[in-house]
A and B are shown apart, each in its own frame.
Chain A
């Protein structure tokens, strides 16, 4: 949920986190192409089901897209005319089939709230800030989380390790919006360095990118803490292996032992958690966007639910679901490359 909304339990085996390995047992010795085809087919079916659930849910929201608007000065005839223009008076199964047929052709439909503009172009404008924020946050999570985890493992049982354990358990337990508020209290209210709505206009130009730094840190802080703990644990495990003793016995410098030998092995399980983390960062920014006034997909989704904007609701849900499943697929495909030992088992 946010970070906690996505299940990032560092104690469960990292392999099971992707949640998509259930069918793998039946795929022993299958080629990559067949495997990929099956996964893509399964993904398509899941997307279709998500589409159905979303369709049913949004059509059961009381009120239609044209009566829901408070500022509506439309007469009853005009509402009826608009509804039949967009095909909203047809039977629901027919509407659903039309939505699916349009989706297959790559058409996400039109927005009712925004004068019938195509959803794809409206979403495209919003995707840029959300995706940039997710990327910046991911860079922060990986760039800070992994080095800190390695440091904590190498300096095991020192004050550094203790400080890291305490800070990471606090950061991992606290939701990201609390960190966002603390950042705002310090930098906006206390020091007055930034405006409270500092995310405004983020993603419009290169100059606006620094405005995303504080939101990205807030968004990524819990994931960073979790990644640090996982890296520390896998590093500790790796450092106890026989080949590390061999490397030390060969007289290799400690730096090489840690970075070339231990870290490369420790990173394999870490890799599997990076997919869910990336998906959580890109799709979990709804609250961060509304706190900092960032014009992203999450903020647009809240508006579209309020306005019963069916096309935008469907487009956002499918986009997020696709990001989540794509991240899992990429990790599953990268895993045998990172760890050739599991390739044979697939």
Chain B
């Protein structure tokens, strides 16, 4: 309890901005976290600027010979100069895939889809999780019981099966062919399905945090000074719970990327020919014995992404919550 008390003295006792500045100082001292943050910034830059960074259109086929000029279909695996399975060159920095598409450009666009999936899921999950957690911990008792049983149910439901079922159930017809910010509706539905499986963890975290905060003396003080319920939640409890929420959100990103990659790998995620890291892995895995380097590219990007988020998250945790950095 004393550790908690110190944390709260820190939170409440320092003027606004002071806590964050102190956290920023601690974060900067963590070399792995800073390097990871820079790596993430670069990757995010590639994802956002994919249109100008990509050297080719991600779905154009750069076939050299006409596919079948004689009317006889060519054997796709035959070692012929077709423009497929090319190694790295000045024209195609990372070579071309089994359909003679530029791997570098496809990876840049794939990174965009995967990061967008993660971002969308994190925003959805944080919004829903915070709302549900706050309502459960400070609303009437029956609401708490109901919401907790709902999260129990979500815990017992096998995550991946739920994502697959949801993605299949929603079909592609719901939103038609609309797209938001260049992201097609089938992709948005996939993001939504991933979010649905991830919110209970966040809701439980917020609930547990507020349960602790509401028993602290400053809550009683605020209440006796006439703060109403809304003010308690929005001005005292949620800011108090901000640090663990931010840390949880950071660790949620790799989980969402993993889910996207998994569902796309299985073949019911992002629809072809749109590239995502998972779809690229699935595509290139089919030809791993022909061109293993093509498989190594999206995997390397994925590994760097995961490690960067992991170290960044750990850095954030110890910066925002000094008592955990023992």
Show the binding face of A for B, using Cβ within 8 Å: 1-2, 4-7, 9, 11, 19-20, 22, 46, 49-50, 53-54, 57-58, 60-62, 169-170, 172-175, 177-178, 181-182, 184-185, 188-189, 196, 283-284, 286-287, 290-291, 301-302, 305-306, 313, 316-317, 320-321, 324-325
Confirm or deny: B268 has a beta carbon within 8 angstroms of a beta carbon on chain A. yes
* Cβ contact within 8 Å between B296 and A185: yes
The 8 Å CB contact of B164, one of A11, A284, A305, A324, is A305
* Cβ contact within 8 Å between A196 and B266: no
Chain A nearest CB from B56 CB (Å) reads 25
Selected A-B contacts with CB under 8 Å, 30 pairs: A2-B258, A5-B159, A5-B160, A5-B258, A9-B251, A50-B156, A62-B173, A173-B254, A173-B310, A174-B306, A177-B265, A181-B281, A181-B285, A185-B292, A185-B295, A189-B292, A284-B160, A287-B262, A287-B265, A287-B266, A290-B266, A301-B161, A301-B164, A302-B164, A305-B164, A305-B168, A317-B161, A320-B161, A324-B155, A325-B156
* Cβ contact within 8 Å between B158 and A196: no
Chain B nearest CB from A275 CB (Å) reads 13
Bound CA span A5–B255, Å: 7
A60 / chain B contacts, CB cutoff of 8 Å: 169
* Cβ contact within 8 Å between A321 and B169: no
Chain B nearest CB from A133 CB (Å) reads 16
- A195's nearest neighbour on chain B, judged by CB, is B289
B265 / chain A contacts, CB cutoff of 8 Å: 177, 287, 290
- Given A22-B148, A173-B310: A286 and B262 interface contact (C-beta under 8 Å): yes
* Cβ contact within 8 Å between B259 and A5: yes
Q: For chain B, what secondary structure do more than half of its interface residues adopt (helix, strand, loop), or is it mixed? A: helix
B161 / chain A contacts, CB cutoff of 8 Å: 301, 316-317, 320
Confirm or deny: B24 has a beta carbon within 8 angstroms of a beta carbon on chain A. no
Bound CA span A185–B201, Å: 35
A287 / chain B contacts, CB cutoff of 8 Å: 262, 265-266
User: How many CB-defined contacts (below 8 Å) exist between A and B?
Assistant: 131
* Cβ contact within 8 Å between B292 and A61: no
1/0 contact string of B164-207 vs chain A (CB within 8 Å) = 11101101010000000000000000000000000001001000
Q: List B291-326 residues whose CB lies under 8 Å from chain A.
A: 292, 295-296, 299, 302-303, 306-307, 309-311, 317, 324
B296 / chain A contacts, CB cutoff of 8 Å: 185
* Cβ contact within 8 Å between B165 and A49: no
- Given A57-B165, A61-B168: A196 and B288 interface contact (C-beta under 8 Å): yes
Bound CA span A54–B268, Å: 18
- Given A2-B258, A22-B148: A57 and B158 interface contact (C-beta under 8 Å): no
Closest 7 A/B residue pairs (Cβ) = A173-B310, A320-B158, A5-B159, A62-B171, A60-B169, A57-B165, A57-B169
Confirm or deny: B115 has a beta carbon within 8 angstroms of a beta carbon on chain A. no
